[in-house]
Amino acid sequence: MTLPFLPFTRPSIDEETIAAVADVLRSGWITTGPKCAALEAALSERCSGRPVKVFNSGTGTLEIALRLAGVGPGDEVITTPLTWVATANVILEVGATPVLVDIDPATRNIDLDKAEAAITHKTKAIIPVDLAGLPVNRDRLYALAADYNLRVVEDAAQSFGANWGGKAIGSFGDFISFSFHANKNLTTIEGGALVLPEDIDPALVERYRLQGVKRTPDGGMDVDVLGGKFNLTDVAAAVGLGQLKHIDAFTACRRELAKAYFAKLDPAFGLELPPADFEQCNWHMFQPLLPQGTDRGAFLAAMKERGIGVGVHYPPLHLFTLYRNLGFQAGQFPHAEDVGGRTVTLPLFPAMADSDVDRVCAALAAVLPRKS
């Protein structure tokens, strides 16, 4: 019997959530409305009562956070080259200059010592990224920000449900940006949320979210900031509310699957495993590194032939044409280039069983030459 194809991720959406979406469609109110307000309230509760505003993407939350932080032309923003390209694109979008620094090869997150060395009088903010859901060291991050008077925009797109020292990501800190894209641990199909610091007026965020419009009780309106079109729909929010009921169970399941990989992956495969953090990381992705010299394209094709989907997250962004044209060069960030060139994302999602981990390991055994 041929087993069904095993993708690297798949959302788990229950029948109750599907029914809730149908109810929204029948209600006649399908764009931003009561479901979005309910989702914001539920997210705020998880974030220790901090104000939360939902958006139509995690990219939009990053861009608006930078604008709210006053970042613009002439400013520099420090971030990592090993991330989805949106992290750096939003810096360009607001007219600022992205300053990239290499990763710590042990965590694969931004090297905060290198970040400190890159700070200049033009540095306005830092965007750390929790790669694969492993939190950047928040103690070191916020000490650095305090020392140099920097705003922090946490790219926590991958770390909803993770924690730092037992404190939920989003429950403390400056700006925190979550993504609820289809492949995230909690999805609204497309979407995101921005957790706000106390110096930011939530009403201003709402204006930035929707064309800068401010309405008055007499039916009039004004536009006082350059906003965009970033609002979430109630259809999407209904999905998010359904997902939120299960997020703790999803996280627990992901951690158990990650443990299964660690237990079952044969060291003879020659894979370099990610940090084994089963307390703080939400295991958004399971990302070993292929042995040096492996043809990754051939590996992906061979795994697909065996019914196993494998992703690549992420190529180092400074090697993209857009960023080469800004002056970035190959060899500039060797750790990011090494990890980005060898990383693969193996299947890991809540609907998986231990037998699926066995399938992946069997496919790896067939595809990778054994090391002594």
Residues marked active site are found at: 184
Among 235, 329, 250, which Cα is nearest to 18's? 235
| CA triple 348-131-12, angle to 5 deg | 30
- Nearest-CA neighbor of 322 among 88, 151, 124? 88
Q: List Cβ neighbours of 55 (8 Å cut-off, separation of 6 or more).
A: 61, 64, 191, 192, 193, 194, 209, 230, 231, 232
Nearest CA among 247, 90, 260 for reference residue 163: 247
With vertex at residue 361, the alpha carbon angle to CA 358 and CA 364, rounded to the nearest 5 degrees, is 155
57 token code pair:
């993407």
CA gyration radius, the chain: 21
Q: Which of 365, 360, 346, 367 is nearest to 302 (CA)?
A: 367
Number of Cβ within 10 Å of residue 339's Cβ equals 21
Are 227 and 206 in contact by the 8 Å Cβ rule? The answer is no
Across-strand partners of 127? 79
Instruction: Give the ranges where 212-353 is alpha helix by DSSP (H).
Output: 234-244, 247-264, 296-305, 321-324, 334-342
Task: Name beta bridge partners: 343.
Answer: 289
Nearest of 122, 28, 40, 118 to residue 81 by alpha carbon: 118
Cβ-proximal residues to 242 (8 Å cutoff; 6+ apart), any chain:
13, 14, 16, 17, 20
Task: Name the percent of the chain in helix, strand, coil, to the closest 5.
Answer: 40, 15, 45
Length of the chain: 372
